[in-house]
Each structure stands twice: as C-alpha cells, then as structure tokens.
Amino acid sequence: MRAVRNLCIAIAALSGSAYAETVKIAALGDSLTAGYGLPLEDGFVPQLQRWLDAQGADVEILNAGVSGDTTAGGLSRTDWTLTPDVDGLIVALGGNDYLRGLDPAISKENLRGILAKAEIADVDTLLVGITAGGNYGPAFKAQFDASYVSLSDEFSVPLYPDIFAGLLAEAGAQGSVADLLQPDGIHPNAKGVAANVAAIGPIILDLIFDLQQ
C-alpha cells in the first residue's frame, strides 16, 4: 500500500495539475527539530525536505522547532504555528520534559492540548514520541512512554514511537551510536539526522497522501 501511495504522490508531482497548492506541514518540536548544533542545511527539517523532494512530494516543511522547548512551550506556540495555510502538523516534543524529569502526567496534558488545538483547526497530525531511559525509574519510564500511545488512540492520530528509531537502527547495524551523535552525546550529527529522516520519511509521505485526498 505504501508503494502505491508513493507512486500516486510522484505522479501528482509530475503532472503539476493534480493539486492546486503545495501541501504545508509544520514541524512543532524542540532542538531535534530545530537542528541544534548543525549547519542549517544539515538539520532535521532541511534534510527531510530534500528527502521528500526526492520522492516527488509537493510539500513544504515548516521548521517550528525551538531548542530547549518542552511540551509546555510547544503548547504555548501552537496557536500561532497553526496558521491558515498549514495543512498538517508534526508534533515532536517531550525530550526536554524527560531530561528534566518533569511529571509525565503534565507532559501528557500539554501534548493533549496541542492535539486538541490541531483537531479544532482540522489539521491532520503525526505524533512523534521519544523513548525514555530508566534513569528516573521504571514507573516514570512506563508512564512517559505510554502517554504517546494513549494520546494517539485518544485523538486517532498516527504515532511514530521514537524520533531516534532510524539512528538507533543505523547504530545497531554499524555497532556505534557515537558516530551518529554530536560531541554532547545527545543530539544527532548530520549522519544521525539522515538516518532518522530515512526512517520517518515514509510515514510523512503517508500523511501527505492523506492530506491530498
């Protein structure tokens, strides 16, 4: 099914007449979205844009990432991110909440607020999670990880469970996470971003396809 969708997107792009306007998707996130520590062209949004362009997708990805942002910060920015020309939304927040050990129940409520605003605005949304480590204990991890699944079900939006999935898969294949991270050991380098983009890209193509129906 995904191959068929990709073909439809490519045909539409080549025809130039199937859709009147370029689909616009805002990526609401933190430093992982903003491209912290990287040249502009190596950040998540520029690399994702190039990947989607290569698939023939007629889409513009808008960078609404702010380094250091928590779910609360994202919620405060949602109204002005969802401008009338925005067709879709990628919500990739929660990493800083986890790093600061914030109450997962509060983080979940903030994400719920973002998804509710997108629903009211009739904007199709992809929720992107991040997997917590065990440093705050198993109860924290279980509650934090489960919040994304719960919200995906509650709002009937697709969930991409872990923004680092592509990087971790690539690291597993080559046996080293360090080669895909910046010196801080937290943020992906250009190669790490590329791995994440290649993994999430097909999911975003599905979102684009749905928006074009």
The order of strands in the sheet holding 124-128 is 59-65, 23-29, 88-92, 124-128, 159-160
Residue 176 is a catalytic residue: no
Q: Out of 15, 17, 122, 184, pick the active-site residue.
A: 184
Q: What is the pLDDT of residue 34?
A: 98
Spatial CA neighbour of 79 closest among 125, 108, 116: 116
Beta strands in 35-166, from DSSP E residues, in sequence order: 59-65, 88-92, 124-128, 159-160
As for how many domains the chain has, the answer is 1
- SS3 assignment, position 53: helix
Residue 145 is a catalytic residue: no
How is residue 29 written in tokens? 């996130």
CATH (domain of 130): 3.40.50.1110
Q: What is the pLDDT of residue 5?
A: 54
pLDDT mean by block of 10 residues, the chain; 213 residues: 51 44 96 98 98 97 98 98 98 98 98 98 98 97 98 98 97 88 97 98 97 88
Q: What is the pLDDT of residue 142?
A: 98
Q: Out of 30, 31, 97, 147, pick the active-site residue.
A: 31
Q: What is the pLDDT of residue 152?
A: 98
Spatial CA neighbour of 121 closest among 79, 73, 59, 91: 79
Helix (H) or strand (E) holding 27: strand 23-29
Q: What is the pLDDT of residue 15?
A: 44
Single pTM value for the model:
0.90
Residues spanned by the domain of 159: 2-211
Residue 103 is a catalytic residue: no
Q: What is the pLDDT of residue 1?
A: 53
